[in-house]
Amino acid sequence: MAADEKKVELYGSVRVQTYITDADKETTGTAFDDSDLTWSLDEGSSRFGARFQAGDIGANVEIRPRDKESVISADGSTNLLRQWNATWNFGSGTLLIGQAYTPTFHPICNECMLGGGGVLDGYGDNGVSVRQAGIQVWFPIKGVNGMLKLAALNPAEDSTKITVPGWVATDTDTKLPQLEAALSMAFGPLDVYLRGLYKTFDTVNTTTNDDVSSDTWLLGIDAGYAMGPFYVKALMYTAQNLYNMSSAGGPQGTWVWAPQAFTGTTVEDVDNWGWFAVAGFKFSDKVSFEAGYGQKFAEQNQAAGVKYEDETSAIVFFLPITVAKGFTITPEILIADQGNQTIGGVEQGDRGKKTYYGLYWRIDF
C-alpha cells in the first residue's frame, strides 16, 4: 500500500435469538417453575462497522443497533458505541488509543450466545471487561509467534459498589487507570494465553471525609490444542473483587458479592476463582459440534467473621451449521446450575437451574 493510499472496509453482523428459558421455582423465588420465550434481535452482539487504513495509521469504528426506547442508564444513554479507536504502527509495535477490546477479554466459547452471551461471564473469560476506552500498546514476539499487549484503561467506578453502613453520602476517587496485560504464544498446535488486570478506587464519605479502598485483580491462563478436526480449550483464573468489574451496577448473578465495609474503614474482600473447558469436532466446513463445562466460586468473610461461600456451574452444547457463506444457524442448549451457597458452614439449599434452548441466527456481511 502506498503511504498516501487510503483503504476503507465496511462490515456488519445481524444476529437474532429465538429460544426458551425454563427456570426452576428455586431460581424464580416463587412456588412455581417458569418458562419464557425470547424472540428478539441480539442488540449486544449485532454490529455495523468500518475499518480504515492509510500507511501506518489505522482506525476502527463500530456501533450496535439501539433506538431511543432502549435506554440502559439513568442519563438516557443507549450505549450505541462498541468500538472507536485508532492505531499507529511505530515499527516495533502498535499504539492504540480509544475504545477497543481489552487484553483480558479472551473467550474460549465463541458460540455460547443464548441469553445475550452473558450467561457464561465470570467463568474466566472476564466478560465484564470487554471493551474499554484508554491506551494500549501491542508488541509482536516472533520467538513464540505471540503478542504482548499492555493497556491503561478507563477506571470508571461508582460508590455503590461497596456497602458502607451508616454513610449518608459517598463519592468515588480513582488515582490509577485500570491496568491490563496479556501475552499470547503459539507452539505448533498448542496456543497459550496469559492475562492479568489490576484496578483500585476509594469510596469516600463526603460528610466525614473517611474513605474505604477496594482493589480488584485477576490472573488467568488459557490453553488450546488442535489435532485435525478435533480441538480442546481450557482456562482457569484466580481473582479478587470481580464484582467491581461489573458495568451493570449489580452482581453477575449470585456468584459474587460487593466488598463489605463493616467498621467503616476495613473492607472484607471477595475471593473469586473458576475454570471452563470446551471440546469440539469439525465434521466438515459446514457443520461442527462443541460442548463445554465450567465452575466458578466466590468466598467472603462477612460480619462477625461468618464465611460466605458460593458456587455455580454451567454446561453447554451447540451445533453451528453454515447454511451459506456468512450465514450460520446454531442450535444451542445451555444449563446454568445456580448451585449452593454456604453460610458459616451450613448449606442454604439447592437454588435450582435455568435451562436455555433454541436457535441463534447470524448473518455476517
Per-residue model confidence as pLDDT tens digits over 4-37? 689 999 999 999 999 999 999 888 778 888 999 9
Find the mean pLDDT for residues 30-59: 92
- pLDDT tens by residue, 148-187: 999 999 987 766 667 666 666 678 888 899 999 999 999 9
Please state the separation of Cα 72 from the chain's center in Å.
18
Statement: residue 140 has pLDDT above 80: yes
Q: What is the residue-averaged pLDDT of the chain?
A: 85
For the ranges 50-59, 80-89, 254-263, the lowest mean pLDDT is seen at 254-263
pLDDT at 115: 57
Statement: residue 135 has pLDDT above 50: yes
Beta pairing partners, 17: 40, 360
The DSSP letter of residue 300 is E
Nearest-angstrom CA–CA distance, 23 and 259: 29
Statement: residue 303 has pLDDT above 60: yes
Domains of the chain: 7-364 (2.40.160.10)
pLDDT at 67: 64
Statement: residue 311 has pLDDT above 90: no
Statement: residue 136 has pLDDT above 60: yes
Quickly list DSSP for 162-201: SB-TT-S-EEEE--SPEEEEEEEEEETTEEEEEEEEEEEE
pLDDT at 159: 67
pLDDT-based confidence at residue 248 (cuts at 50, 70, 90)? very low
C-alpha pair distances (Å), 79 with each of 63, 70, 135, 244, 298: 9, 9, 20, 20, 30
Q: Model-level pTM greater than 0.75?
A: yes
Amino acid in the structure at residue 27: T
For the ranges 47-51, 116-120, 177-181, 230-234, the lowest mean pLDDT is seen at 116-120
Cell matching residue 109: 466459547
For the ranges 14-23, 42-51, 135-144, 170-179, the lowest mean pLDDT is seen at 170-179
| Total Cβ atoms within 10 A of residue 112 | 26
Find the mean pLDDT for residues 348-357: 87
